[in-house]
Structure 1
Amino acid sequence: MLLIKPRDGSPLRRFDFRLLLAGAAVSQIGAQVTLVALPLVAVVELDASPMEAGLLTASETAAFLLVGLVAGAWVDRVRRLPVLLRADVVRALAMASLPLAAWAGALTMTQLYLVALVTGVATVFFDVAHQSYLPTLLPREQLVAGNGALEAARSASQVAGPGLGGGLVQLLGAPFALLADALGYLASALFLRGIRTREAAPAPAAQASLRAQIVEGLAFVFRHPVLRMIACATAVANFFTAMLVAVQTVFLVRVLELAPGAMGLMMSVSAVGGLAGALCAGALARAVGQARVIWLSTVLSGPFALLWPLAGRGAAAIWFALGSAVVFFGAVVYNVAQVSFRQLLCPDELLGRMNATLRFVVWGTMPLGALAGGAIAETAGPRSAVWVCATGILLVPVPLLLSPLRRLRDLPAAPAAATG
């Protein structure tokens, strides 16, 4: 049975989904500016070491280990739209504190770590609620198209945001460029306030103990043979991606000797692949099968990561962008297919816990990867750390190829029953 049913209309025809999409787009542009500006504040303004840069990246993602499972159980107890609004406001206030501290001459690495941690906690609640809220706005047959549109918005921001960030850093300085992120989160909150769809109150059964709900979410994920292997593959991918994120600013600025504007442009060129992946994901899933595209996308794109450490100064820096573009293409196709599968598979009352469990596992590896990347760059040099990242990306398809996905073209359409 085909997972992707014939479309009966575009999700873009739904006003509330357009507001959700607009909020995602503006907040992502700000977040992409921060992707360039925040590590530049550390590396250029505060002269951070590779290990300190790795610790900053770890601080941004540590929240998934600290509160990830609790967030999922809590989100299943409440309406999800208010969670999205509050998370955006918290992130805006936290990011706005950095340019204020820079203006006062009081900015320190400690504040960077704290802001990264606070925004990370808010992001955990936002992301879990966001993925769990989408099925409230869209019928199940439009989830793939809806996730594709959200990925397209995210990928478009990855094209525009880093170049904008690099330009703002050169024009205003890295700390003041972070105002774009704070404004993006505020704009997102305003869009979300306009959504008219009202969620039903959680069922009384959702008031069980947090511990029982967490166990139920863990059981649902790890008893399912496909979800379990998707979790393993994504955890591996995120470990080595976080390693790259932790060292790439040091690598691009101190090894390849790129100016902030050139670094931002490099990352924008890299993100073109992700945008292409978002635009092609639905068609590829229909053409080769949603089960098959999950593993095939990682098998074909992963080897291009080996171009990262081959990059050099001047024109040879383009190898980094080219490798990233192809890897990002595969990653976005993979994400659209597997996230849509998870939303189709899971009963609504378990969506928060399922998404949080997956996030706990797959994002929980990121602070570990960031710390490992910083340690390797500190002791063996940034290029050696990038070689480790690139080699590790080749391991991503292994769990998928060992799963039932390898023998399937499409995924079963019927939602599984909740497990206790």
Structure 2
Amino acid sequence: MATQLLDRLPGLLRQATFRRFWAAQTVSFLGDQVSTIAIPLTAVLALDASAAQMGLLGALTSLPNLIFSLHAGGLVDRYGQLKRMMILCDVGRALILLTVPVAYLLGTLTLTHLWIVAFATGSLAMLFNISSYSLFAAIVDRKDYVQGTSLTRGSFSFSWVAGPGFGGALVQALSAPVALLIDVVTFLGSAVLLRGVDADEPEPAKTRSKSHIRDGLRFVSANAVLRAKFLSGGALNLFYSIYFTLFLLFIAKDLKLSPAMIGVALGLGAVGALLGSFVTGWFSRRIGLGLTFILGTLLFPGALALVPFASEDKWVAFGLVVAAEFFSGLGLMLCDITGASLQQALTPDAYRSRVQGANLGLINGVRTAGALIAGGLGTWLGLRPALWLAVIGGALSVLPLLFAPVARMRTLPEEVKVDA
């Protein structure tokens, strides 16, 4: 029975080294996403944070992507030891998060403490992700690159939706600060799994960090598809950051959903993401990879319009939040898996860490601005109008893809040729 089950797994998951790497990455990603709800709910429920204070908390979580990631790509290439760096990042995040429940139980927890934790864990998560991206290339053969990308990006996207739901249930059962103890366990589990990964890591590069930054940005800007992907992704991340920063505040205070209802709603949304991970390949074969990417980029933010549309009837609001999360999760998978596959296919091996550094810096870094803008919009316009603005802006982020040759791409494109 076990042999038959193993035979049905994707080819890469039958390889022990990749399986351990993928499992460690998935567990670590899940820990990241549990933090995205447990830390903000700690601020709201334990410290009564305002919209502006929540905006600053969200900004500090993503600020490392803005100020460090372009340099981190050069750091990873120069010093190597990718597995060791990932393990240290996991252990570091576990120790930092452990300080929150300890301070809460001692009665000394403050918003300043949470802001420091958010910035520190965000920095380590950024370094973990860049190291993981480079270690992936050392583990996976090029012929299996698309399958490996689908598995790793699929687990990341699924954890992005499932993690907050899991976190909400933990908050209901344990309280928000104490729920972070489970988060500590996930990071330690990831570190243990990584110890079993056996890979021939590439030799550290001699290129200086500034060259990595310049070359990565030049490569992206010179390719129409990558340029459109980065512009679209940047806008989408900006408006989603505005949305999510205010989302928990809106459904907890205005819609008056309990932590358990929030957890269940977000958890059921994970079903949409799971479905998306299975049907992305089908959509790509039916309508083409490019149109699937565009469809996901529209559906991911568009479905979230159901949330600000919700009335004050608790159960109607609960149903709309569930539907919004389900279809948004489906769109997220369509968008994220196809977009990541396009980036992997277009990028030569020598540019992978540089492009990934640019990706984290130019796309995920805008979440910092989004979180800060959210605090102002939530204060000046009110939560519901600010959420409407975020949803509309997110849907319009598809425009750069429509003006690039993305829709005509039915299959993965050829790798871009660059001068030696």
Residue ranges of structure 1 left out of the alignment (5+ in a row): 1-7
Give deviations 1:98-121, integer Å, cap 9, x for gaps: 111112211100010111001111
Distance change (3 Å), C-alpha of 1:196 and 1:305: same
Q: Please, which moves more after superposition, 308-317 or 67-76? A: 308-317
Distance change (3 Å), C-alpha of 1:171 and 1:320: closer
CA contact under 8 A between 2:157 and 2:332: conserved in structure 1? no
Residue 322 (structure 1) aligned with residue 320 (structure 2): no
Shift of 1:234: 0.4
Q: Please, which moves more after superposition, 276-285 or 263-272? A: 276-285
Corresponding residue for 1:306?
Answer: 305
CA distance in 2, matches of 1:289, 1:297: 12
Give deviations 1:234-253, integer Å, cap 9, x for gaps: 00110011111211111011
Residue 406 (structure 1) aligned with residue 407 (structure 2): yes
CA distance in 2, matches of 1:56, 1:181: 18
CA contact under 8 A between 1:37 and 1:174: conserved in structure 2? yes
Residue 348 (structure 1) aligned with residue 349 (structure 2): yes
Amino acid at match of 2:152: L
Q: Trace 1:215-364 onto structure 2 (pairs within 5 A).
A: 215-312=214-311, 313-317=313-317, 318-364=319-365
Aligned-pair identity in percent equals: 33
Q: Secondary structure at the match of 2:226?
A: helix
CA distance in 2, matches of 1:27, 1:382: 32
Corresponding residue for 2:76?
Answer: 75
CA distance in 1, matches of 2:224, 2:166: 42
Give deviations 1:9-38, integer Å, cap 9, x for gaps: 621111111111211232233333322221
Corresponding residue for 1:21?
Answer: 22
Give deviations 1:158-199, integer Å, cap 9, x for gaps: 565434323322332211101111111111011011001121
Residue ranges of structure 2 left out of the alignment (5+ in a row): 1-8
CA distance in 1, matches of 2:314, 2:294: 35
CA distance in 2, matches of 1:100, 1:43: 18
Distance change (3 Å), C-alpha of 1:135 and 1:290: farther
Residue 106 (structure 1) aligned with residue 108 (structure 2): yes
Amino acid at match of 1:21: W
Q: Secondary structure at the match of 2:396?
A: coil
Shift of 1:217: 1.1
CA contact under 8 A between 2:41 and 2:176: conserved in structure 1? yes
CA distance in 2, matches of 1:255, 1:182: 31
TM-score (norm 2): 0.92
Number of residues of Structure 1 aligned to a counterpart in Structure 2: 409
Corresponding residue for 2:200?
Answer: 198
TM-score (norm 1): 0.92
Q: Trace 1:109-124 onto structure 2 (pairs within 5 A).
A: 109-124=111-126
Q: Please, which moves more after superposition, 401-410 or 249-258? A: 401-410
Q: Secondary structure at the match of 1:310?
A: coil
Shift of 1:320: 2.2
Corresponding residue for 1:44?
Answer: 45
Distance change (3 Å), C-alpha of 1:52 and 1:281: same
Give deviations 1:143-170, integer Å, cap 9, x for gaps: 2322322344345545654343233223
Amino acid at match of 1:188: S
Q: Please, which moves more after superposition, 146-155 or 355-364? A: 146-155
Q: Please, which moves more after superposition, 110-119 or 81-90? A: 81-90
Distance change (3 Å), C-alpha of 1:169 and 1:198: same
Q: Secondary structure at the match of 2:308?
A: helix
Corresponding residue for 1:397?
Answer: 398
Amino acid at match of 2:210: R
Shift of 1:74: 1.4
